[in-house]
Amino acid sequence: MIDVQLVTGSIDTAALIAAAGNPDAGAVACFVGTARRTSSMGPSGDVTRLEYEAYAPMAVKELESIAREACERHDVIHLAVHHRLGVLAIGDAAVVIVVSTAHRTAAFEACREVIERIKQRVPIWKKEVFHDGTEWVNAHP
């Protein structure tokens, strides 16, 4: 089963893990992407918050496609991806991926594949907010 959502409040990671449980699943793997205080783009003081935005319908379409491909490739029983949008404090979860499979190798691989592909192609953007300005992450030629 696939559960892909864009959300605006905090993600309930424990609930996603519980929902992935299955009598045939020997492994549940989870990735949590969290907002950190060091800028992705070199030293410029502490990040005070992150702001995420999305081209929402296309982001959902890409997330569903990534989820389907991972499920087929790794024989996944249950896969959930919840990505948060809006303002995140340092330490907040931006994305949670939960995968359950019969055996652990597939769970780790599917989980990793999903986050790598999210970072390549899902139309979601984040802005780092500092005390003295803001920067779009990755947006410099």
Partner 1 sequence: MARILYFGIARDLAGTAEDTISHRGVMASDDFWRIVIAMHPQLERVRPICRLAVDMSYAGADIDIREDSELAIIPPVAGG
Cα atoms in the 13 Å half-sphere on the side-chain side of 97: 24
Interface characters, 63-102, with partner 1 (x: CB under 8 A)? --------------------x----------xx-------
Mark the segment that binds partner 1 (CB under 8 A) among 11-19, 47-55, 67-75, 104-112.
47-55
Binding residue for partner 1 (CB under 8 A) from 54, 71, 79, 111?
54
- Could you say whether residue 5 binds partner 1 (CB under 8 A)? no
Let me know: does 75 contact 100? Beta carbons within 8 Å: no
Stretch that binds partner 1, among 11-19, 53-61, 71-79, 104-112 (CB under 8 A): 53-61
Distance from the first to the final alpha carbon of the chain: 39
Instruction: Specify whether the CB–CB gap between 111 and 104 falls below 8 A.
Output: no
Q: Do the bridges between strand 133-136 and strand 78-84 make them parallel or antiparallel, or are there none, so unpaired?
A: unpaired
